Structure 1
Amino acid sequence: MLSAFARVFKSPDLRKKLLFTLGLIIIYRLGSHVPIPGVNYQNVQTCVDAASDSGGLLGLVNLFSGGALLQITVFALGILPYITASIILQLLTVVIPRLDALKKEGASGQAKITQYTRYLTVALAVLQGTGLVATARSGSLFPNCSVASEIVPNDSILTTAVMVLTVTAGTACVMWMGELITDRGIGNGMSMLIFISIASTLPGALWAVKQEGKIAGGWLAFFSVILIGFVMVALVVFVEQAQRRVPVQYAKRVIGRKSYGGTATYIPLKINQAGVVPVIFASSILYVPALIAQFADPTAPWAVWITQNLVKGDHPYYVAAYFLLTVFFAFFYVAITFNPDEVADNIKQAGGFIPGIRAGRPTADYLRYVLNRLTWPGSLYLGLIALVPTVAFASYGSSNQLTGTSILIIVSVGLETVKQINSQIEQQSYEGFLR
């Protein structure tokens, strides 16, 4: 490992990219602690210290912002509006022919889709920022805090507009920094910022486990959680790296005096083809009923039922709905992102075929069959990874917010970043050999 770090810092190009990435990460973390204008910072800290957890309605946003949401800082929304906008554009590509045509145009079309994503991100940031300010002003952001209603002491329109504008500008700045990391740094910028946000909350969450433990001063629970975390990391690494390689053979063709083809390759189909998107989808859908119930009459029977059954992460109804939605969205997302018919047509046009399978429609049917068989264990794996830590902490009687989603994102982003660094090191080694 030390030799690998030495190789990274010996390369001027990699060293420059690494330092550039670290600089933007530092700026991002500093912005996560700068409060927005119009907020009583002392009351916010009082409510944050008194809060038992950061879950509930805004738990996902708080997780992806590295705890900046509850602090009501400049980067309170984090990168989640951009993630939501990207997912929406990806879904709309399937139903809007214009977006589908742009996707097939290559780099120019992708640049146009990226521009649409930026516009939608700003619009979502305005919407979510308005909701955040309204929630903070009403006291619902910290329902168990005595000074929650005094977090935003000034309720004038100008103060509200400045607060929403500041949060929106912070989201745009985070999006810009993510794109800079992608272009000039190491790894995918958006994924890297999510990685840093989640990783920044882990030390506090682990220490909370120690403080809540009742055996051996809490150290038994502390080391037990670390051991379970290592086991889950090993499981995530194993599944994320696992893939089914569908062999593809290209026929040999002779054009003039040159021969083409005659090579063999494969199509890598991962077990978890959907990544972490189904978990985000499921969490977002489950937050909608809680959001509606929060702004409705709290004494209404349906609102009481939602509050009792679909807000707490340890309730059986919540656990069952979360698991089923994760499985459903895993199949749904794979279906819209991987088109077997298009892949089969591309293979046929390139003169390739899967051994034992006829080209064209039979190839598409075979790919669809293999993909469905892979998605079942992948979706069940996602559901278990997302729920096991939550259920374990609930049965233990803890309100800790260490989740399987956090581990899944951290390990996945870490693996992709390491792969990119290794590829750049190998590329420079080849360049040195050619010199």
Structure 2
Amino acid sequence: MFQTFRNAWKIPELKNRLLFTLAILVVYRLGSAIPVPFITGSALNQMFSNGNMLSYLDMMSGGALSRCTLFALGVTPYINASIIVQLLTVAIPALENMAKEADGQQKMQQITRYVGGVIALVMSLGYYFVIRNMGALKYTSGAAGIFTAVVIIATFTAGAQLITWCGEQIDDKGIGNGISLLIFSSIVSNWSSVYTTVTGLLTRAAAGETRFYILLPLLLVLALVVIVFIVVMTNAERRITIQYAKRVVGRKQMGGQNSYLPLKLNMSGVMPIIFASAMVSIPGTIGSFLQIDQAAHPFWYAFFHTFNYTSLLYIVIYLLLILAFNYFYVAIQYNPVEIANNLRRNNGSIPGFRPGKPTSDFLTRTLNKITLMGAIFLAAVAVLPIILGNLTGMSIQLGGTSLLIVVGVALDTTRSLDSFMTMRNHKGFLG
């Protein structure tokens, strides 16, 4: 492993990509530590300690949201924009045709940027009113109040767009998926809260709740088991044998060899959980922004309170959205009919199935089974910590999601680095 890193540093292109990725991550973390002017962030601590949906957004931003920094919104606007654009691509034929053009992906990326900018502006407006209602602004009236509002909203919006640009630069000039790496760095930088959680549990145990002396080691063992489980399930794949018929081209005989079509169990990675979390957090986030009083509006208070991540309704909706987004993400990545047609054009076939419709039907059934197993895996990792946290009273609801994102992004980045090493005849991580 260490020898591989030394070999990587000997390749100028790979070394430059690693340094560029590291530089972007450093800029991102610096921006997450610089506070926006005219705000006293300490006034918001109470709001983020109540276990509402802003806790999830704060985790995705690495604590930048609770501190009101330049990158407070994190990558959430871009993620929501990606969800909307992908759904519209399936629903609107014009966008679907555009995506299939030669430069279609660039056009779709540009549309996603614009949608992300609008979402960032809306979120900036909402967050401005939240911090205003919490009394965290230095100026709220007159010309100074208007200037303060413009500066804060513009800074939040520009910060979100800058993060999107940074992620795209990593995609082009760095290693791994840019947006995923930014989320990874946010979660890792916020894991100092683990120490706070552990000390809090030990304090409760010393105060007389002795069950935490047993639960704490069990949680540590469970976390290690979950990490191993995630690694195994992420790398698991179904290999479908492909046979190619022999054919003569000129004086040479081509084909006749066997290959395989790899279908990964977890094809969509962490994206279904990120998408589902973003969608299910919308009602709770709106409720946090509105700061509805229970005495004045009991119905709306109860409605928004049901979307707290400790509620049963949240768990059910979260579970269903993970299943739906996993199927959706796999559907836009794999087309069994197109795969079957490509095999037939290249004189390839799956043993036991005729080319054409029988092959596409077999691929469809296989994909459905694999997708279901992958969706159950993602749902278990994301939902079980919420249930366990509710039963034990410990704040580990976001632990499964954090572990899955961190491990998934680490594996994806490792594979990207390994591909660069393999292309240059070096021993890679996975070789």
Under TM normalisation by the shorter chain, which class is it?
Answer: 0.7 to 0.9
**Whole-angstrom distance in 2 between the partners of 1:189 and 1:151:** 33
Q: Where does 1:207-222 land on structure 2 (aligned, <5 Å)?
A: 207-213=196-202, 214-215=204-205
Comparing 174-183 and 96-105, the one that deviates more: 96-105
Instruction: Indicate the residue corresponding to 2:169 in structure 1.
Output: 180
Comparing 180-189 and 313-322, the one that deviates more: 313-322
Instruction: Give ranges in structure 1 of 5+ residues lacking alignment.
Output: 140-148
After superposition, what is the alpha-carbon deviation per residue over 1:163-213, rounded to whole angstroms, capped at 9, x for unaligned? 111111111211121122222222121111111011111122343232233
After superposition, what is the alpha-carbon deviation per residue over 1:124-172, rounded to whole angstroms, capped at 9, x for unaligned? 2112111211222223xxxxxxxxx234642533322221111111112
Instruction: Indicate the residue corresponding to 1:69 in structure 2.
Output: 65
Among residues 88, 110, 113, which one is paired with 2:108 in the alignment? Answer: 113
- Give 3-state SS (helix, strand or coil) of 2:62's partner: coil
Q: Where does 1:249-264 land on structure 2 (aligned, <5 Å)?
A: 249-264=243-258
**Post-superposition shift, 1:221?**
5.7
Instruction: Indicate the residue corresponding to 2:33 in structure 1.
Output: 33
Q: In 2, are the aligned partners of 1:54 and 1:62 still within 8 Å (CA)? A: no
Instruction: Indicate the residue corresponding to 1:270 in structure 2.
Output: 264
Instruction: Indicate the residue corresponding to 2:117 in structure 1.
Output: 122
After TM superposition, where is structure 1 displaced by more than 6 Å over at least 4 residues in a row?
216-220
**Post-superposition shift, 1:243?**
0.8
**Post-superposition shift, 1:77?**
0.9
Q: In 2, are the aligned partners of 1:205 and 1:400 still within 8 Å (CA)? A: no
**Whole-angstrom distance in 2 between the partners of 1:54 and 1:27:** 30
What code does the residue aligned with 2:383 have?
L
**Post-superposition shift, 1:416?**
1.0
Instruction: Indicate the residue corresponding to 2:351 in structure 1.
Output: 355
Instruction: Indicate the residue corresponding to 1:150 in structure 2.
Output: 136
What code does the residue aligned with 2:362 have?
Y
Aligned residues: 416
Q: In 1, are the aligned partners of 2:33 and 2:69 still within 8 Å (CA)? A: yes
**Post-superposition shift, 1:216?**
6.3
**Post-superposition shift, 1:376?**
1.9
Q: What is the TM-score with the length of structure 2 in the denominator?
A: 0.87
Instruction: Indicate the residue corresponding to 1:410 in structure 2.
Output: 406
**Post-superposition shift, 1:411?**
0.6
Among residues 282, 307, 312, which one is paired with 1:310 in the alignment? Answer: 307
Q: What is the TM-score with the length of structure 1 in the denominator?
A: 0.87
Comparing 22-31 and 282-291, the one that deviates more: 282-291
Q: In 1, are the aligned partners of 2:238 and 2:265 still within 8 Å (CA)? A: yes
Task: Give the CA RMSD over aligned residues.
Answer: 2.6
- Give 3-state SS (helix, strand or coil) of 1:211's partner: helix
**Whole-angstrom distance in 2 between the partners of 1:65 and 1:283:** 14
**Whole-angstrom distance in 1 between the partners of 2:200 and 2:42:** 20
- Give 3-state SS (helix, strand or coil) of 1:215's partner: helix
**Whole-angstrom distance in 2 between the partners of 1:163 and 1:68:** 14
Instruction: Give ranges in structure 2 of 5+ residues lacking alignment.
Output: none
What code does the residue aligned with 2:67 have?
Q
**Whole-angstrom distance in 1 between the partners of 2:216 and 2:48:** 18
**Post-superposition shift, 1:105?**
2.8
- Give 3-state SS (helix, strand or coil) of 2:176's partner: coil
Q: In 1, are the aligned partners of 2:387 and 2:397 still within 8 Å (CA)? A: no
- Give 3-state SS (helix, strand or coil) of 2:221's partner: helix
Instruction: Note closer, same or farther for the CA distance 1:245–1:82 as it changes in structure 2 (3 Å cut).
Output: same
Q: Where does 1:1-400 land on structure 2 (aligned, <5 Å)?
A: 1-40=1-40, 44-48=41-45, 50=46, 53=49, 55-106=51-102, 108-139=103-134, 149-151=135-137, 153-154=139-140, 156-213=145-202, 214-215=204-205, 223-291=217-285, 295=290, 298=294, 299-300=296-297, 302-311=299-308, 313-400=309-396
- Give 3-state SS (helix, strand or coil) of 2:121's partner: helix
**Post-superposition shift, 1:236?**
0.5
After superposition, what is the alpha-carbon deviation per residue over 1:84-108, rounded to whole angstroms, capped at 9, x for unaligned? 22232222222223332233234x2
Q: In 1, are the aligned partners of 2:201 and 2:216 still within 8 Å (CA)? A: no
Instruction: Note closer, same or farther for the CA distance 1:219–1:68 as it changes in structure 2 (3 Å cut).
Output: farther
Instruction: Note closer, same or farther for the CA distance 1:227–1:207 as it changes in structure 2 (3 Å cut).
Output: farther
What code does the residue aligned with 1:5 have?
F
What code does the residue aligned with 1:189 have?
G
Instruction: Note closer, same or farther for the CA distance 1:59–1:347 as it changes in structure 2 (3 Å cut).
Output: farther
- Give 3-state SS (helix, strand or coil) of 1:38's partner: coil
What code does the residue aligned with 1:406 have?
S
Q: In 2, are the aligned partners of 1:274 and 1:330 still within 8 Å (CA)? A: yes
Percent of counterpart pairs with the same letter? 38
After superposition, what is the alpha-carbon deviation per residue over 1:191-242, rounded to whole angstroms, capped at 9, x for unaligned? 1111101111112234323223333698866554333221111010011101
Q: In 1, are the aligned partners of 2:170 and 2:176 still within 8 Å (CA)? A: yes
What code does the residue aligned with 1:205 have?
V
